Amino acid sequence: MTDYFTIAEISRLTGLASHTIRYYEKQFPVLLDVERSKGGHRIYRARHLEALKSVIRLLKDEKLSIRAARKMLGEPDSIASEKHEDNSGQKFSPDAYEINRSLMLVLEKLDRLCQSNERRDALLESFLRRTDSKDGNQLIEQIARCRSETRETMKMYESLMLRWKNSN
C-alpha cells in the first residue's frame, strides 16, 4: 500500500465523487487537512481515507446531518458561523449552503440521467422504426412525451433553484 493517494484513488476507494470529497474537506477541515504537492495537487494519507470512511458512515449509514457528524468527530463549531460561497460567489449560511449544494447535485444527476435516457431512447426509436409497427410508433410517441415532460420538470426545478438562490 502506498504512503499517499490522489483524489482519484480516494474517489475510487470511497465511492465518492471528487467534488464531494472536496466539499467534505471544507466541512471537516481538521480531519481532512489535506497536504498539497509542489504542483498543488492534493495528497491524501491513510488517515484521510479512514476519516472519510467515518464521515460516510455517519452521513450515509447513520443518516446524521453534517453538523451532527462534525460534532461527533470533534470538528470545531467555528465553521457553523461562516458564510459559504457557491461557484457564482453568492454567500449562504451553512444550512442554506448545504441545501443549495444538495439541490445542485440532484440537478446534475438528473441531467446526466436525462442525457443517458435520450441516448437509449434514440437507439430504441431506431429499432422501432425498423420494425415499422403501429405499436412501435405509439411507443415512440409515448417516449417523446415522457422525455418532454422530464425536460420541462428540469427547467422548472432550475427556475425554482434560481429564485431560491436569489432570495437568500
- The residue that leads in pLDDT, 17 or 139, is 17
pLDDT over 60 at 85, yes or no:
no
Distance CA 29, CA 79 (A): 9
Q: What does the DSSP 8-state code read for residue 32?
A: T
DSSP code for 5: B
Per-residue pLDDT tens for 149-159? 777 777 777 77
Cβ-based neighbours of 30, under 8 Å, separated by 6 or more: 74, 75, 76
134 DSSP assignment: H
Q: Using alpha carbons only, give the angle 31, 100, 153 rounded to the nearest 5 degrees.
A: 140
The CATH architecture to which 7-82 belongs is Orthogonal Bundle (1.10)
Q: Give, to the nearest 10 degrees, the angle between helix 134-167 and helix 94-131.
A: 170
43 touches 36 (CB < 8 A): yes
pLDDT in tens, 21-40: 999 998 998 889 888 888 88
Per-residue DSSP letter, 82 = S
Cα 46 from Cα 63, distance rounded (Å) = 24
CA–CA separation, 7 and 15 (whole Å): 11
pLDDT digits (tens, 9 = 90+) for 40-71: 899 999 999 999 999 999 999 999 888 889 88
- Angle (CA) 21-107-15 rounded to 5° is 30
